[in-house]
Amino acid sequence: MTDAVLNTHSDVGSDPHPTLHNDDLAPLPAAQRRWGPFPIFNVWTNDVQSLAGYTLAASLFITAGINGWWVFAAIVLSGAFVNLLVNLSGTPSVRYGIPYAVMARASMGVRGARFPALVRGVVGIFWYGAQTYFASTAVALAINAFVADPGRATFLGMDWVDWLSYTFVAVLQIALFSRGIVWIERFLNFAGPAVYVVMIALLAVIWVQAGDQLLPAVGAIFDNTEVQGWAAVGAFVGVMGTMIAYFSAVVVNYGDFARFARDERSMRIGNFTGLPVSLALFTFLSLFITAGAFIVLQNGQGEPLTNPADIVGLVGNPVLTIIAAVTFVVATIGINLVANFIPPAYDLANLAPSRISFRTGGLLTAAAGFVIGGLWVAMIDEIGLPTFVDTLGALLAPLYGVLIADYYIIQRRSVRVAELFTMDPDARYHYRHGWNIRALVAIGLAGTFSLAAVWVPALAELSGIAWVIGAALGGALYTALLWHYRTAAPAGETSG
């Protein structure tokens, strides 16, 4: 794609409406779209490698009820599936240089897009708080290695070391965010490879201690056959669905990152290496570390540990403890910046572009996320991480379905960028007073069913694929309700 074409796509007209436009939401000029495959690979590497990601993967190995190697296969296949999803959602932003919050205006209306942006922002804030808490456990690990524990009082389930660690991570993230997107990019490029170095070192330490017991331990610990027949197939699909839901926040708003890509080829290479390839390596390391730790560090007692910070704490090596703690903090901060800080900042800015900048949106995200993360141990953790993941994924799924159906079917892969920034009643994306009510209906119906799949006991067998259900249903309903708009409505149709 030539620069001339890109610059044409970036034209938003000479007088964009102030309630729809600011510098952060405007189409990115071609000269600023400089990401090759490696930065995109690191977006996914940081997304994969967090403490929450490890804990989720390890939990699925333990609780799925099927052989661990089938769990491994399901996780890797989920990475391949997510790779296909983000190639679809990233393409329009690569072409036009616009973030998700603006792209959503094509389907939701120039005012109606504030609704999905708000939903995505709220989900991101919940994840931001959760990931901040997980990162703080690594800091607490390092502090506890040198602080005696005579029995400390707790508040909301955390003692003073936990709260000190949590506050430190929260402040550190704001400091990193304040340095700007270029510095964040450099941070991510360091964090991704560093985590793999530490995980391989941790596995080496455990393997040396385990010796020839490690490989049999992997087979024995995860040789789970309590689920048989078609129920095993359902469990396999459920593992895939939960992992897809884990990535759902980034899948929906992947355009916030794809807009920085040089071209579609760079995006696709980065997506492939960062998703199925990186996820396979990370899951392999997680599987062997969890199994090895259970045999060597826990002597086969109790349940296998699912938080790598807890595993490192049992190794008894102060140097490795400090290095691992720092690296795990870096990794989890990386995903928070990628998946849960930058997107809500854009989404909140989209609510009132003339009053909320990207920076202000980020600070609001940090403040709300701090409260949510502080409640993790006392409240949110009670429902369990897989259910937490499935619930947030079910909320976001219809937004993805509508986005894809609109761009590829209704808009026929052609977006009028200038009309995404105008309140002209005759503009294509004005619909009715700036709202596409039919899109809201599709999202509401699909979201209700996908959430019911997670929480209604009668639909329990569908809980693992709640995201897939919500996305497919949202896209199908939207296409059915807007079909005449695609085939018959002239540009400027306002009947929405």
Question: Residue 435 above 90 pLDDT?
Answer: yes
Domain that holds residue 60: 49-383
Question: Residue 464 above 70 pLDDT?
Answer: yes
At 152, the pLDDT band (50, 70, 90 cuts) reads confident
User: Which residue has 């490192």 as its token pair?
Assistant: 312
Domain membership of residue 242 (yes or no) is: yes
pLDDT at position 103 is 93
pLDDT at position 224 is 64
pLDDT tens string 437-447:
999 999 999 99
Q: Count how many domains the chain has.
A: 1
Q: What is the chain's mean pLDDT, rounded?
A: 81
Percentage of the chain beyond pLDDT 90 is 27
pLDDT at position 10 is 44
Question: Residue 274 above 60 pLDDT?
Answer: yes
The 10 Å Cβ neighbour count of residue 251 is 26
| Residue 482: partners with Cβ closer than 8 Å, 6 or more residues away | 406, 410, 436, 438, 439
**Most confident listed range (137-146, 177-186, 273-282, 348-357):** 273-282
Q: And the tokens for 121?
A: 């922002």
pLDDT at position 75 is 92
What is the arithmetic mean of pLDDT over 471-489?
Answer: 82
Report yes or no: 142 and 325 within 8 Å, Cβ to Cβ.
yes
At 106, the pLDDT band (50, 70, 90 cuts) reads very high
pLDDT at position 6 is 35
HEC sequence for the chain? CCHHHHHHHCCCCCCCCCCCCCCCCCCCCHHHCCECHHHHHHHHHHHHCCHHHHHHHHHHHHHCCCCHHHHHHHHHHHHHHHHHHHHHHHHHHHHHCCCHHHHCHHHHCCCCCHHHHHHHHHHHHHHHHHHHHHHHHHHHHHHHCCCCCCCCCCECCECHHHHHHHHHHHHHHHHHHHCCHHHHHHHHHHHHHHHHHHHHHHHHHHHHHHHHHHHHHHHHHCCCCCCCHHHHHHHHHHHHHHHHHHCHHHHHCCHHHHCCECCHHHHHHHHHHHHHHHHHHHHHHHHHHHHHHHHHCCCCCCCCCCCHHHHHHHHCCHHHHHHHHHHHHHHHHHHHHHHHHHHHHHHHHHHCCCCCCHHHHHHHHHHHHHHHHHCCCCCHHHHCHHHHHHHHHHHHHHHHHHHHHHHHHHCCCCCCHHHHCCCCCCCCCCCECCECHHHHHHHHHHHHHHHHHHHCHHHHHHHHHHHHHHHHHHHHHHHHHHHHHHHCCCCCCCCC
Report yes or no: 168 and 135 within 8 Å, Cβ to Cβ.
no
| Residue 155: partners with Cβ closer than 8 Å, 6 or more residues away | 163
At 2, the pLDDT band (50, 70, 90 cuts) reads very low
What is the arithmetic mean of pLDDT over 24-36?
Answer: 86
Domain membership of residue 119 (yes or no) is: yes
Question: Residue 337 above 70 pLDDT?
Answer: yes
At 79, the pLDDT band (50, 70, 90 cuts) reads very high
- The larger pLDDT score, comparing residue 468 to residue 303, is at 468
pLDDT at position 263 is 94
Domain membership of residue 414 (yes or no) is: no
pLDDT tens string 35-75:
999 889 888 887 777 777 777 888 888 777 787 788 889 99
Report yes or no: 77 and 224 within 8 Å, Cβ to Cβ.
no
pLDDT tens string 182-235:
777 677 677 767 777 877 887 888 888 877 877 777 776 666 666 677 788 888
Identity (one letter) of the amino acid at 162? D
Domain membership of residue 287 (yes or no) is: yes
Domain membership of residue 162 (yes or no) is: yes
- The larger pLDDT score, comparing residue 409 to residue 306, is at 409
Which of 95-99, 370-374, 476-480, 488-492 is least confident? 488-492
pLDDT at position 440 is 93
Answering whether pTM is above 0.95, one says: no
CATH number at residue 284: 1.10.4160.10
Taking phi over 0 as left and psi of -120 to 50 as alpha, with beta for the rest, 425 belongs to alpha
Q: And the tokens for 126?
A: 């919940």
Domain membership of residue 113 (yes or no) is: yes
Domain membership of residue 353 (yes or no) is: yes
Domain membership of residue 429 (yes or no) is: no
- The larger pLDDT score, comparing residue 88 to residue 383, is at 88
pLDDT at position 486 is 62
- The larger pLDDT score, comparing residue 469 to residue 225, is at 469
CA dist 342 and 364 (Å) reads: 11
What is the arithmetic mean of pLDDT over 465-491?
Answer: 81
